Amino acid sequence: MQLVCDQFQETGDPAFSKRVKEVSESGLERCYQCLTCTLSCPVAFAMDYPPHQIVRMVQLGLKEQVLRSSTIWICASCLSCVTRCPNEIDIPHLMDTLHQIALHEGVAAKEPAVAMFHEAFLAPIKKYGRQYEAMMTIGYMLRARQFSPKDLLNNALLGFKMITKRKLKLLPPHSIKGAKEIRGIFEKTEERGK
Amino acid sequence: MEKRIGVFVCHCGLNIAGTVDVEQVVEAVKDYPDVVYAGNYIYMCSDPGQELVRTTIREQNLNGVVMSNCSPLMHEKTFRRVATKAGLNPYLLEIANIREDVSWPHENEKELATKKAISIVKMAIEKLKRNVELTPMVVPLHKRALVVGGGIAGITAALEIASAGYEVIVVEKLPYVGGHAAQLAGTFPTLDRVPCLMAPMIAKMISHPKIKVYTNAEVDEVSGYVGNFIVKIKTSPSYIDEGKCNNCGLCLEKCPVTCPSEFDCGLAERKAIYITPPETMSQKVLIDPGNCLHLNGDECRACEEICPTKAIDFLQQGITVEKTVGAIIVATGYGLWDKKNIPEYESDPDVIDGLQFERILSPSGPTGGDIRRPSDGKVPKQIVFISCCGSRDPEHGFTYCSRVCCMYIAKQAVLYSRTVPGGQAYVFYMDIRSDSKGYEEFVKSAMEEERVLYLRGRVSKLFRDGDKIKVWGSDTLSGKSVEISADLVIMATAMTPREGAIALARKLNVTVDAIGFLTEAHPKLQPVETLTTGIYLAGTVQWPRDIPDSIASTGGAVSKVLSMFSRKELLHEPTIAWPDEEVCSGCGICASVCTYNAIEIDPIKRVAKVNEAVCESCGACIASCPSGAMRHKNWNARQFMDMIDIATGAYV
């Protein structure tokens, strides 16, 4: 099935929509396009396709357009859409599924900072089994490379203030008991994703 | 005889008394000539109200009653019954409608309303003065029913009436019963296989001692009236001596003529001598006179020569039987909008209609249950359904919704997806109309479990591209144009009136609508009756319907027939037209305007003659009679003039 709109011409890929349906278990084929999700979404203004369009595009199997959209990265997982959806479609879960597929397929994220934040967030957890905020912050800033020296300085000063007020720990935390198992989960998941 | 008229004014709570001053109405008519009693009461239709009327009739020895209350449609029957109980002829009771005609429309003009009520009551009194005593006519009733059409509705009707103990005659135009339902692969939403539904019904009907089935037959002529219809049934010859034929099938092999099979919607071929399809529970050999060479003047006698039992009889003649029946159920079913109406779709063998796809899906169909496309027998991997072909499309077809297509598309898509692994079904739709028990869930399950892809939009173009058919359409939900390379395209064409429905309606003297569906007497309150008493509608002859709705409407028609048959005899209103033979010149204008065919010109006396059982008191003959010979019992011209005098006098 060829689908054509102004900018793109793409062949609908039923295998893609089938895979998304199975991985996300979101029940997205039930969607009847009432637009409740889009109308409840607090960040829809920043998206290139509103959430209901992403659902429809997944149904049609428009893999390229979906994975290259900003929507899947901008979704804040606030769950407003799930709460209100009459068909109980789990859109945040759908968006997570689409992140995964995008990462595995090596599709460049339209909003790279969001993807980098996810990476920075997960790195300490993989290492220690728990969050280490200083590492996450520094990791994110290094990855994103979009901060001016002045920004970095301001952040460092804020970080120093937080450390003195014991809001942020300077030294790495103790690894939790099951840190090894957590690492195992990460490795296994990465393995399965391949 | 001295007139003694009583006037009873009802308050109807505040419905009348809130607007009309009922006391004033009573005052105004109390001393009117011939009125001996005038009274009012809060609810005349209540038990004490009826008692008041009854005792007053007796005590005052009334010989005429005017009930001044609601519409005669509501309570004329009630009060006529009261009059009868009190010993008064019911046709000496008149209703003056001061509720629907006065209090409701004139709520804000109380004085004028009262004045109008008084004049309406006086008009009724004047009319009543010239009323005569009448008794309802007794019409004989033949407790035998005719069912026209042997589809699922006709079979149901026949079985229901027969199981109540009455004789039934079924007339089927085709050589086999079963109708369209027998051609289907399955039913929605339960996916029952149709032979499992139809076979027991057909078998029961064929063997039922009270049912006589005429196949290959048509209703030739209908005359008479309710309880006494005389029908002529004409059967076409099968050219086979059924007593001799042993269904060996040798003739089928020998016959040199092949033609498309009607039962398989042209997807398979049959010979000019053929055997009826197994789904219809009959195994009868017959010759199709349209295609047989011998019957069209050729030398060929191949079947006759090979037949070991000498069962073939080219000289066989059709028979005509005449039967008297009391009621007729019309269940002739539907036709399909021809896809030839859209020329670009018509030429391609892989663009088929829904009924053809049913045959392809059917285990006993031309492909033996394998889903193969007509052009090259390949298994189609991508199929496209186009809904609303001819329906909801006034440009090409009709404005109405064909009602069953959304559901049978879902059913066919599900059956297809289950039979062809890896096959993908697409559905172009405008709206999904799934408005009955379990239907919405069924469509959803087609989307969720069978991964049928629904695209909301119309198809703009179809064209052949090598092995494939390119379908151009749009998906309005995503705002994208869509191009699908399909192997097979199924068009959900509109259900239409059956060919010949209008001709049959003319024979039966029932009305058809602008499209050609037979019309009911009242869309809300009389949905299975026709305007001709004694003729009822069942199933899709009336409007597109699915099987449960057809069965339900058949049940309605059957209950009407049985309630009629439960009576000993029929009563007919006596307020009908009658010709004054002294005045009538026999011009025949009245006979030509009578919609009920109730009037004929007596060949000896040369005057009009009214068939009293058929006349429905419409008054058309009276209005058209140039000499004023035609009269209406209890509604004669003098009564009208008296009423008009009152009506105009009140406002002078």
Instruction: Give the per-residue pLDDT at B652.
Output: 47
Q: How far apart are CA B460 and CA B462, in angstroms?
A: 7
Instruction: Check if A30 contacts B (Cβ < 8 Å).
Output: yes
DSSP B1-13: ----EEEEEE-TT
pLDDT tens by residue, B26-41: 999 999 999 999 999 9
Instruction: Check if B417 contacts A (Cβ < 8 Å).
Output: no
Cα first-last separation, chain B: 32
Rounded to a whole number, what is the distance in Å from the CA of B340 to chain A's nearest CA?
Answer: 27
Instruction: Give the per-residue pLDDT at B13.
Output: 92
Q: Which of A104, A127, A155 is the last residue of a domain?
A: A104
Angle at B398 between CA B393 and CA B401, to 5 degrees: 80
Tell whether the model's pLDDT for residue B163 goes beyond 90. Answer: yes
Give the pLDDT band of residue B364 (cuts 50, 70, 90).
confident
Note whether A27 contacts B448, CB cutoff 8 Å. yes
pLDDT tens by residue, A142-174: 888 777 888 888 988 998 999 999 888 888 888
CATH number for position A45: 1.10.1060.10
Answer yes or no: are the C-beta atoms of B606 and B583 closer than 8 Å. Answer: no
Structural domain includes residue A88: yes
Instruction: Check if B368 contacts A (Cβ < 8 Å).
Output: no
In terms of domains, do A145 and A174 share one? yes
Instruction: Check if B447 contacts A (Cβ < 8 Å).
Output: yes
3-state class (DSSP) for residue B425? strand
Q: B346 vs B55, which has greater pLDDT?
A: B55
Least confident of A16-25, B56-65, B625-634: A16-25
In terms of domains, do A160 and A100 share one? no
Note whether A4 contacts B483, CB cutoff 8 Å. yes
Q: How far apart are CA B35 and CA B126, in angstroms?
A: 11
Q: Tell me what the mean pLDDT of segment B144-165 comes to.
A: 97
Rg (CA), chain A: 19
Instruction: Give the per-residue pLDDT at B283.
Output: 84
Structural domain includes residue A194: no
In terms of domains, do A75 and A35 share one? yes
Counting beta carbons within 10 angstroms of the beta carbon of residue B155, is it exposed (0 to 12), middle (13 to 18) or buried (19 or more)? buried
Structural domain includes residue A19: yes
In terms of domains, do A51 and A27 share one? yes
Structural domain includes residue A189: no
In terms of domains, do A59 and A125 share one? no
Instruction: Give the per-residue pLDDT at B294.
Output: 92
Structural domain includes residue A193: no
Instruction: Give the per-residue pLDDT at B346.
Output: 67
Q: A14 vs B582, which has greater pLDDT?
A: B582
Instruction: Give the per-residue pLDDT at B614.
Output: 83
Q: How far apart are CA B474 and CA B383, in angstroms?
A: 16
Instruction: Give the per-residue pLDDT at B389.
Output: 93
In terms of domains, do A100 and A6 share one? yes
The boundaries of the domain holding residue A79 are 2-104
Task: Enumerate helices (H) and strands (E) in chain A, giving the number of each.
Answer: 11, 2
The set of residues, in sequence order, having a beta carbon less than 8 Å from that of B49 and lying 6+ positions away, is: B10, B41, B42, B43
What count of other Cβ atoms lies within 10 Å of the Cβ of residue B601?
A: 16
For A140, B127, B647, the CA distances from A147, given in Å and listed in that order, are 10, 102, 97
Q: How far apart are CA B427 and CA B412, in angstroms?
A: 11
The set of residues, in sequence order, having a beta carbon less than 8 Å from that of B141 and lying 6+ positions away, is: B227, B228, B326, B564, B565, B567, B568, B569, B570
Domain count, chain A: 2
In terms of domains, do A8 and A99 share one? yes
Which chain B residues are within 8 Å of A57, Cβ to Cβ? 478
Q: How far apart are CA B434 and CA B280, in angstroms?
A: 29
Answer yes or no: are the C-beta atoms of A37 and A95 closer than 8 Å. Answer: no
Instruction: Give the per-residue pLDDT at A8.
Output: 62
Q: Which of A104, A138, A158 is the last residue of a domain?
A: A104
Q: Tell me what the mean pLDDT of segment B167-172 comes to.
A: 97
In terms of domains, do A82 and A29 share one? yes
pLDDT tens by residue, B196-216: 889 999 999 999 999 999 999
Instruction: Give the per-residue pLDDT at B195.
Output: 82
Structural domain includes residue A134: yes
In terms of domains, do A176 and A92 share one? no
Structural domain includes residue A37: yes
pLDDT tens by residue, B528-547: 999 888 999 999 999 999 99
Least confident of A22-31, B105-114, B141-150, B310-319: A22-31
For B149, B224, B319, the CA distances from B218, given in Å and listed in that order, are 9, 18, 11
| Domains in chain B, CATH or no CATH each | 5-134 (3.40.50), 144-236+318-333+498-565 (3.50.50.60), 250-306 (no CATH), 334-496 (3.50.50.60), 573-633 (3.30.70.20)
Phi, psi of B240 (to 5 degrees): -125, 135
Residue closest to B442 by CA, chosen among B190, B249, B157, B125: B190
Note whether A57 contacts B447, CB cutoff 8 Å. no
What ipTM did this prediction achieve?
A: 0.80
Structural domain includes residue A15: yes
Collect the ranges in chain A with pLDDT lower than 50: none
Q: B138 vs A7, which has greater pLDDT?
A: B138
Q: Tell me what the mean pLDDT of segment B417-436 comes to.
A: 94
In terms of domains, do A9 and A100 share one? yes
The set of residues, in sequence order, having a beta carbon less than 8 Å from that of B346 and lying 6+ positions away, is: B339, B340
pLDDT tens by residue, B41-59: 999 999 999 999 999 999 9
Of residues B453, B477, B485, nearest to A33 (C-beta): B477
Angle at B242 between CA B237 and CA B248, to 5 degrees: 115
Tell whether the model's pLDDT for residue B651 goes beyond 70. Answer: no
Q: At B578, list the tokens.
A: 């009658």
Angle at B168 between CA B331 and CA B571, to 5 degrees: 90
Which chain A residues are within 8 Å of B482, Cβ to Cβ? 1-4
Q: How far apart are CA B350 and CA B380, in angstroms?
A: 10
Q: Tell me what the mean pLDDT of segment B386-400 comes to.
A: 93
In terms of domains, do A67 and A136 share one? no
In terms of domains, do A132 and A158 share one? yes
